[in-house]
Amino acid sequence: HLHEEESPCRWWFDSHLRFFDDDDGFGQSIIRPGLGYQVADNATLWAGYAWIRTDPGASPAFHEHRPWQQLTWSHDFEPTLLDMRSRLEERFLETGSDVGLRFRQLAALRRPLEIAPQFTLVAWDEIFFHLNDTDWGARSGFDQNRAFFGLGWKPRPECSWRLEIGYLHQFIHRSARPDISNHLLSINLYWNP
């Protein structure tokens, strides 16, 4: 349960810049705010909105509007922390009129290094499933998988931010064209006031 002086209300904001391997490098930007309500010490319900701009390079850039809802849950298995996130997205793309439904499931493990506790081994995996077919190209079933392995750094235990750097493998299933396998450098900055 929550302590009496703590508010169960939470806020969420994440922003992404993604660079592709082409002439100008820029490929996608995401802005994703949300509000949450903590229902238990280790579980929070969320709802929010994401705006995505994608520039595929060979074709014109387009925008996506994406309301989302999620449940986050964590458990401390001393010294390893397990985080889970289950997210449902409603996707509205400018390139079609259908609403795409997509489910995402993430599981993450973080374990501090005994010899240097300010560093943490980080591994996570997120799987995506389309729940329906759309006129803009989504096909129901497996969409993609993202797997990350890297190192986190937090200078002091009481610090409100942490940095995670590592390798991200993104596998994208495409029904009409060959699948894509991306090998990426991922740099993430987290802040939790």
DSSP string over 14-29: EEEEEE-SSSS-EEEE
Mean pLDDT of 50-61: 85
What local confidence, expressed as pLDDT, does residue 18 receive? 81
Helix (H) / strand (E) element for 59: namely none
- Provide the pLDDT confidence category of residue 123 given band limits of 50, 70 and 90: very high
Q: What is the pLDDT of residue 189?
A: 92
Whether the pLDDT of residue 192 is over 90: the answer is no
State phi, psi for 95 to the nearest 5 degrees. Answer: -85, 5
pLDDT tens for each residue of 57-111? 777 888 999 999 999 999 999 999 999 999 999 999 999 999 999 999 999 999 9
Cα–Cα separations (whole angstroms), residue 133 to 98, 99, 153: 9, 9, 41
Instruction: Tokens for 159, please give them.
Output: 């610090």
**Cα(12)–Cα(104) distance, rounded to whole angstroms?**
17
